[in-house]
A and B are shown apart, each in its own frame.
Chain A
Amino acid sequence: MPNLLTSLFREIKATMGIFEPGGDQTYGLLAEFSDPGALYHAAQDVRQAGYKRFDTHSPFPIHGMDRAMGLGQSKLGIIVFFGGTVVGCALGIWMQWWTSAVDYPINISGKPFYSVWPAMPIIFELTILFSALVAVAGMLALNGLPRPYNPLFYSERFRKATDDGFFLHIAASDPEFDLDATRDFLGEIGALHVEVLEDQGTTTSAAPPAAETPPEPTPSVA
């Protein structure tokens, strides 16, 4: 049972782009591509090769990348609707009704204690406010942010990802991952540069395959 929970937890984290390191602390491979087009095709190739735990990194969102990577629609819309819009609207109605008609009714010029018309502006504002708060909080939650620690930050080269670098990262915890084979594969699909990321603060800049010890076969997550 704990195993099942752990793997479920890992799956959820993987949707946020948070991947477990492999058995030997290898975090994964980071490949750099020349431009958005190359990255787009590389993502398609990586997906076709059967990888699941990979992500692309680019300084701006690339159109069609979700489809290339095989990601579905973001679930944020539904979260915002139920978590924010409905809640904010209900709160706006309840707050004005309860405070002025239940908790402390005051008769002012014989007006009704609660009427929906004068309540409308505040209901509207609270609906918007709560939706916006949930839109931001939900986005951060779905993305697993804030995330101060990320093994990707060990790579000097990765600093370009927010400037003009286009990167593809395959996590070592992917069932298909094999250090040498995956590295060769990334070369074949056109990576300019491939480096191995360790989860302990070291990066090796793609040493020749022979010098590497064969990686532990990573346990596949059910």
Chain B
Amino acid sequence: MEKDSNTPHADVLHEEDGWHRQPYDNDPPLVKGNLSFHEITDLVAYHTEKKTPITWFLAFGVASTGLMILFLMLAYQVYNGVGVWGNNVPVGWGWPIVNFVFWVGIGHAGTLISAILFLFRQRWRTSINRAAEAMTLFAVMCALIFPTFHVGRVWVVYWMLPIPNQMEMWPQFKSPLLWDVFAVSSYFIVSLLFWYVGLIPDLATLRDRAKGLRAKVLAFFALGWTGANRHWRNYEKSYLILAGLATPLVLSVHSVVSFDFAISIIPGWHTTIFPPYFVAGAIFSGFAMVLTLLVVARKIYGLEDLITLDHLEKMNIIILVTGSMVGFAYITEFFMAWYSQVEYEQYAFINRAFGPYAWAYWIMMTCNLISPQLFWFKKLRRSIPVMFALSIVVNIGMWFERFVITVTSLHRDFLPSSWDYFSPTWVDVLTFVGSFGLFFTLFLLFLRFVPMVAIAEVKGVKPEADPHFYDHEGDGHAAEAPQIAIQQPASEAQDGPDDVDDSTAPTTD
């Protein structure tokens, strides 16, 4: 069989590699530009080693200003109480919950990419999983701020955890809000572990390139990693198990978030479609956020060979699929309201689409259901400006989805005398703006100090990483390649033929 460098593993699959899907002939290469292993290391590690560019400082200045706004707003809220937010009867859950669900949802794409696509052996994920997982962590941090401060007395927030205390009281485990505490905090911890485990080999790579204090700090976090196969064996198992655990976890987290609504008896919330619909929406919005970030980052950092247009196109397809699922759920909700013959349910949905919040509803519909349909066209799917614009449109739409769900269901409750029109306060708005400050501050720090692409994993998906790649054309089995003698001076042996692609692999036949 003729070797084709464009089809990784096309002819070198071995029975023990049964994990890997046999690629189709027209699969594009996962890594472009015919980079050697060393060039991949250089390409990614360089950005953590170079002198900090001035543009980074500018971006960081803007982001950390947002972070300062967040701190100020939270301090203001703690000092004055939750009344500074727009939440009031009948809309007791306003922006804080909207923002919480919005941010948690964004986080889900990272876990989908890192865990679910890993289990499905979608090897294109290797280029984007590190950044996407980082995004998950930061989004969950942003999310956790809102319920934490919404409890009102943030200094007793530990009451939500089952910690023995002087009141001899325990949390109410039958409450969906408490399920949320467990779900989201477990999600954060597991995501952090998953991310860190993935980072260990790359931190070791950085460590071995560094000198002085930097090397010491990196050595601390790299835990003494040497790339030993005895370690890789357990490491890969651990990674697989974590992926297997994170997959049901990520599906459960947004399901539990949806229980906050669905367990209640509010018309418009009390529906069984909520868990799958929330999960699809979460993945939808999360992929949009990953796109927003990566389209910019790959350009600025020159990673077009690692994060290729094919990767972006695949993400766009996922956006199209999940967007259509979400749209389908919107329509199903309407159908079920009519079909249920429950007049309150019917009123809630008619009111959503044609009531005082119709503007929000139609923004949601346009952004989430209609706009992703553009991705049916291959040309648009592969156009950077189109996907960038759409990714932002989708995120706006997904924020409005949560706004519509929360506010339209609450603002006209069972007692018409308490009907009201909800408006956020300036504190609401600035807190939300500030949460973006937190998100981008953390993401910029990540870009600066952590390898933003999983170096070891990207090397591993190159065809040259397969030991059987070398079997066909006089392998690297150098017993038959005596041109390289042992015991040569270190300086000469330094540049051994480590750059083994098709053209330079030693041939003996």
Contact = CB atoms under 8 A, between A and B. Distances in A.
Contact of A64 (B17, B231, B234): B17
A143 B222 CA distance: 13
Contacts of B229: 43, 55-58, 61-62, 65-66, 69, 71
B61 interface: no
A150 interface: yes
Given A38-B477, A77-B241, A125-B183, A208 B36 contact: no
B479 A36 contact: no
B418 interface: no
B179 interface: yes
Contacts of A38: 470, 475-478
Interface stretch (B81-89, B202-210, B330-338, B439-447): B202-210
A64 B237 contact: no
B227 A122 contact: no
A37 B259 CA distance: 52
A164 B223 contact: no
A133 B192 CA distance: 11
Interface stretch (A3-11, A95-103, A213-221): A95-103
B238 A121 contact: no
Interface stretch (B50-58, B321-329, B357-365, B487-495): B487-495
A104 B168 contact: yes
Interface stretch (B101-109, B169-177, B300-308, B387-395): B169-177
16 contacts: A57-B227, A58-B227, A59-B459, A60-B456, A63-B14, A100-B172, A122-B182, A139-B235, A145-B225, A160-B498, A161-B226, A163-B37, A187-B487, A190-B484, A193-B493, A206-B486
B454 to A, nearest CB: 10
A139 B219 CA distance: 18
B25 interface: no
Contact of B230 (A63, A71, A108): A71
Interface of B: 14, 16-17, 36-38, 41, 162, 168-174, 176, 178-179, 182-183, 186, 189-190, 193-194, 196-197, 201, 204-205, 207-209, 219-220, 223-238, 241-242, 245-246, 248-249, 252, 256, 259, 455-457, 459-460, 464-471, 475-481, 484-490, 493-494, 496-500, 505-506
A186 B485 CA distance: 11
Interface string A200-212: 0000011010000
Contact of B484 (A34, A74, A100): A34
Report the interface size class on chain A: 35 or more
A132 interface: yes
Nearest to A69: B229
Given A67-B16, A128-B190, A162-B225, A61 B493 contact: no
Contact of B245 (A132, A139, A159, A188): A132
Name, among B169, B232, B464, the residue most crowded by chain A CB atoms within 10 Å (CB to CB): B232
Contacts of B465: 36, 60, 62
A100 B209 contact: no
A175 interface: no
A128 to B, nearest CB: 5
Name, among A55, A80, A153, A162, the residue most crowded by chain B CB atoms within 10 Å (CB to CB): A162
A208 B246 CA distance: 53
Contacts of A131: 241, 245
B486 A139 contact: no
A24 interface: no
Interface in A97-127: 99-100, 103-104, 106, 108, 111, 115, 118-119, 121-122, 124-126
Contact of A146 (B201, B224, B236, B493): B224
Nearest to A57: B227
Nearest to A112: B174
Interface in A7-40: 15-17, 32-40
Given A34-B506, A132-B190, A139-B234, A162 B204 contact: yes
Contacts of B172: 100, 106, 108
Contacts of B204: 162
Contacts of A145: 223-225, 231
Contact of B478 (A34, A62, A74, A136): A34
B187 to A, nearest CB: 8
A74 B239 CA distance: 12
A136 B189 CA distance: 12
A87 interface: no
A208 to B, nearest CB: 7
A164 B486 contact: no
Nearest to B39: A164
A89 to B, nearest CB: 13
B41 A136 contact: no
A170 interface: no
B241 A76 contact: yes
Nearest to A64: B16
A5 B343 CA distance: 76
Given A74-B234, A122-B179, A132-B189, A37 B477 contact: yes
A145 B197 CA distance: 12
Given A15-B230, A121-B182, A159-B208, A133 B470 contact: no
A196 to B, nearest CB: 11
Name, among A38, A163, A166, the residue most crowded by chain B CB atoms within 10 Å (CB to CB): A163
A68 B457 CA distance: 21
Name, among B236, B471, B496, B505, the residue most crowded by chain A CB atoms within 10 Å (CB to CB): B496
A179 interface: no
Given A136-B197, A190-B479, A192-B486, A121 B235 contact: no
